[in-house]
Amino acid sequence: MADEPLVLGIETSCDETGVGIVRGTTLLADAVASSVNDHARYGGVVPEIASRAHLEAMVPTIQRALDTAGVKASDLDGIAVTAGPGLAGALLVGVSAAKAYAWALDKPLYGVNHLASHICVDQLEHGRLPSPTMALLVSGGHSSLLLSEDITSDVRPLGATIDDAAGEAFDKVARVLGLGFPGGPVVDRMAREGDPRSIAFPRGLSGAKDPAYDFSFSGLKTAVARWVEAKRRAGEDVPVADVAASFQEAVTDVLTRKAVKACKDSGVDHLMIGGGVAANSRLREMAQQRCDKAGIRLRVPRPGLCTDNGAMVAALGSEMVWRGRTPSSADLSADSSLPVTEVHVPAAGAAAGAGGAGADGGAHGDVHGQAYRALGGGR
């Protein structure tokens, strides 16, 4: 609908520069510039490399999104940006760009929460979220069960990882098996050729006296590493596909079992799964089976919307505009540890010590200038 808010979203919490444009709950553009290949040789994300890559990609990616959507920057009703959580330097590049565009265009600015955005993106495929919404978020940095009455203002954590998140465990197991980085997609592919019942890896925090909704994957990761090391010491071949399948089964078993339990205990008849690990084929399959058995409706965005992207930020920003939420102040900053209970940052002081020194401070200033010039020097 033409009268629904048209919002541009910027996502730079880690290694992908994502820019999305959304009108209401309709996705018009989802442009991504990834620096994952720059990090692969290091076996993980290098924050300084990520920040510089965002700086180089920001203006071209925004222009690509505008061109794809067929709109002008002046048509926008608001600018949304991930204010946290994430890598401080990477977040600062996105926040600085969003502030520059918002100022130059005289548009409201919305600093939003990365995790809440992962929930809200489902609206682009399955319509507005029901109230309340139960969400299982699984990514490289987060494994959380969240209950939301209102995605723009009320997100309550029920449980979270106490050590390694699921995505971190996938990366570390992939490294042990020599499968490269990032680990999630390659472990998923390899697991399809293996037997998930061949190795009985542990299920963390699954005992009767353990926290009902918290997660732990550090012990599982260690168990895999020791099993592989024992095989190699004995001079035996490591059945990589079987290890991958058995590890993946252990992760998805715990995630789906706890998510379904949370739904039942809370009286919620649907489950939304988001985050990068939600693209995992076995997780989606097992979740569907268990939700069907429990009479729970499953909502999972397509894989391309599960990983970090600007569309999810634009989706939450559009919801903010539609509900009349207070915009962020002009001195919005980034908060690398922004709690999920802070869905958006309407006031100053989002982060203490997050900004502006050294190399990241230079990137902060550079992106302001680039955005300013891209819009012809100002308003």
Query: In the chain, where are the structural domains located?
Result: 6-120+309-374, 130-303
Written as one letter, the residue type at 306 is C
- How far apart, in Å, are the Cα atoms of 156 and each of 83, 98, 134, 151, 271? 19, 27, 10, 10, 15
| Omega before residue 346 within 30° of 0, cis | no
CATH number of 130-303: 3.30.420.40
Q: 138 a known binding residue?
A: yes
Q: 140 a known binding residue?
A: yes
Q: 280 a known binding residue?
A: yes
pLDDT per 10-residue tile (average), the chain, 379 residues: 88 93 97 77 76 93 98 98 95 97 97 96 95 94 94 96 94 95 94 98 95 96 98 97 98 98 97 96 98 98 94 98 95 94 75 38 55 55
Q: 137 a known binding residue?
A: yes
Quick check: helix, strand or coil at residue 62? helix
Cα 364 from Cα 138, distance rounded (Å): 29
Cα 274 from Cα 267, distance rounded (Å): 20
Q: 292 a known binding residue?
A: no
Q: Quick one: which of 165, 160, 136, 138 has its CA closest to 148?
A: 136
Q: Quick one: which of 331, 293, 270, 256 has its CA closest to 83?
A: 331
Task: Look up the pTM and report it.
Answer: 0.89
- Give the rounded distance of the alpha carbon of 191 from its chain centre: 23
Which residues are registered as beta bridge partners of 56? Answer: none
- Whole-number pLDDT of residue 353: 35
Tell me the chain's radius of gyration from C-alpha atoms.
Answer: 21
**Structural element, H or E, at residue 160:** strand 154-160
- Whole-number pLDDT of residue 15: 85
Written as one letter, the residue type at 335 is D
- Whole-number pLDDT of residue 86: 93
Cα 354 from Cα 349, distance rounded (Å): 10
Q: 340 a known binding residue?
A: no
Written as one letter, the residue type at 203 is R
**Structural element, H or E, at residue 142:** none
For residue 329, the tally of other CB atoms under 10 A from its CB is 15
For residue 228, the tally of other CB atoms under 10 A from its CB is 18
Domain 6-120+309-374 and domain 130-303, same fold? Reply is yes
CATH superfamily of 6-120+309-374: ATPase, nucleotide binding domain (3.30.420.40)
N-to-C CA span, the chain:
27
Under 8 Å between Cβ of 262 and 213: yes
**What is the side-by-side strand order in the sheet with 143-150?**
154-160, 143-150, 133-138, 270-274, 297-299
Q: 76 a known binding residue?
A: no
- Whole-number pLDDT of residue 349: 44
Q: 37 a known binding residue?
A: no
